[in-house]
Structure 1
Amino acid sequence: MDVQVQEGLLTTSSPRVLVATAVPVERDAVAEALTSPAEEVALPGVSLRRTGTLDLIAAGVGPALAAASAACALTAAALRGAPYDLVVCAGIAGGFAPDAPVGSLVVADDLVAADLGAQTPDGFLPVTALGFGTVNHRPPQPLVREVAAATGALTGTVLTVSTATGSAARAAELRARHPRALAEAMEGFGVAEAAAAHGVPVLEVRAVSNPVGPRDRAAWRIGDALTALTEGFGKLAPVLESWNPA
């Protein structure tokens, strides 16, 4: 929270937050929890919905497009002289059973690129083992704890993949490599990379719509997950508005 002096009085302003979802229906589920009037802002490469101090974008599916869209919004804000204080990646996700059941809310304490690397005869090597880049981003841990306390969310690792898991064997492999993993989605690490390039912290919040494993579309509960996302953001928004990024 920024402290400003206006006409001899101390005033406070809420941190500026960019919320990036993959698709419009997720963005709309977040917006449903917010009470401020919405304003549509067209930016190069992405359309932004402004509601109070939260800006919402549907950044696209997958880490590459999500990173590009988030970078557009971050750069536009920086050039405008009003940079963001926090980026939140939000949406629905697959949950690792039984720890993250359908309908539960997960807040990441670690955002991990689970399939960024090389497959070798001896198994998977993350890109860091090849001497390049990074494979994880850590959100501000005090904020993670505040969000979890306010929303009742589970706390653990959220994996980012470019190919969604569709088999029990793949789910078991991922869980073996990442035993603290609670959820799998496709955008968090990309959004985090864009935020890191601007020196902005990141948070990821996911509502579980289906178990990670064999694809069974009939068993997915997307409506329930979107409802959980709306309810979660109703409790999360006050935490973000009062958060002090200093």
Structure 2
Amino acid sequence: MAQAQHTGSPLVIVLATAKEYKAALSPLGAPAAPEPGRNVFWRRGGRDHVVCVTGVGPVAAAASLCLVLGRLGASASGVVNLGLAGSFDFAAAPLGGIVAATAEAFPEYGLRAKAGVDTQGLGFPQLTLAGAPVFDHMVLAPDADAAAMGLRLPDGCALGAAVTVAGVSGEPDRAAILSRKYKAATESMEGFAVAMAASLAGVPFLELRAISNKVGSRPPEDWDLSGALAALGRAADRLLS
């Protein structure tokens, strides 16, 4: 499939999978979902969008989005990351709830030892952004960045820190470690990478996630994928209206 052509200052929308794309954007009239690593042009309500299905995980997300931002550069009006996430605490982020990320952390980076990962153990950051070193943590401003893109957070949207992992937490012990270290509300596999790419491009960034499961838990009662996808669709409708 050919990459999208674009004009003006489009809003870049990033989703990891075609399933999330179909739930969030197809009901709004978006074109057929592109293959992973590809993007499509979409004009809606007088505004241009470039929508990217990145594939799953931080490497795929960074690579796919950087292809788009490399063409658009600072002409993009901003980047919105939509998708599903796990919740560390259903009291704060219940199944089907929507959370806007106030920070992103990448706990995979650093010097790994039996005691865990020392994120500054290598002695140098991943990148320096706006004059500040980035090791494993980025502070985000969802309200301000949404406003800068001409968007408004959906009613009832919670705010919370997010963790991005290369492999999802499959055990409660791992979930507890991440929750305690980063005071996180959600876990996903793309947010940090997408936030870093947007920061490198110098454009606003917003991450919205619908809660599909409890982090580190496998029993079916702690999962509701269909409900989360429906919630993601409602949130996208409100965000982009």
Structure 1 runs not aligned, ≥5 long: 1-13, 239-246
Structure exhibiting the larger radius of gyration computed from Cα positions: 1
Question: Number of paired residues?
Answer: 219
> 2: CA distance between counterparts of 1:145 and 1:42?
27
What is the Cα deviation at residue 114 of structure 1?
2.4
Q: Is the 8 A contact 1:108 1:144 kept in 2?
A: no
Q: Is the 8 A contact 2:16 2:55 kept in 1?
A: yes
SS at match of 1:115: coil
> 2: CA distance between counterparts of 1:129 and 1:110?
22
What is the Cα deviation at residue 30 of structure 1?
1.9
Find the partner of 2:21 among 2, 27, 38: 27
Find the partner of 2:98 among 100, 105, 124: 105
Name the residue aligned to 1:75: 70
> 1: CA distance between counterparts of 2:34 and 2:115?
49
Offset from partner CA, 1:157-183 (integer Å, 9 cap, x none): 11100110011111110111012x111
> 2: CA distance between counterparts of 1:153 and 1:228?
11
What is the Cα deviation at residue 148 of structure 1?
7.3
Offset from partner CA, 1:104-134 (integer Å, 9 cap, x none): 0000011221222222344321147732222
> 1: CA distance between counterparts of 2:121 and 2:13?
28
Name the residue aligned to 1:85: 77
Name the residue aligned to 1:48: 40
What is the Cα deviation at residue 49 of structure 1?
4.2
> 2: CA distance between counterparts of 1:71 and 1:182?
27
Q: Is the 8 A contact 2:105 2:182 kept in 1?
A: no
> 2: CA distance between counterparts of 1:154 and 1:188?
16
Structure 1 residues 30, 224: CA separation in 2 closer, same or farther (over 3 Å shift)?
same
Task: Give the residue type in structure 2 aligned to 1:62.
Answer: G
> 1: CA distance between counterparts of 2:21 and 2:223?
19
Q: Is the 8 A contact 1:27 1:57 kept in 2?
A: no
> 2: CA distance between counterparts of 1:89 and 1:73?
14
Name the residue aligned to 1:196: 199
Structure 2 runs not aligned, ≥5 long: 1-7, 127-133
Task: Give the residue type in structure 2 aligned to 1:116.
Answer: Y
SS at match of 2:75: coil
Name the residue aligned to 1:225: 228
Offset from partner CA, 1:189-218 (integer Å, 9 cap, x none): 111222222222221110000001122356
Give the TM-score taking structure 1 as reference length.
0.78
> 2: CA distance between counterparts of 1:40 and 1:171?
32
Sequence identity percentage: 30
RMSD over equivalenced CA pairs, Å? 2.8
Give the TM-score taking structure 2 as reference length.
0.80
Q: Is the 8 A contact 1:171 1:212 kept in 2?
A: yes
What is the Cα deviation at residue 229 of structure 1?
0.4
Name the residue aligned to 1:158: 162
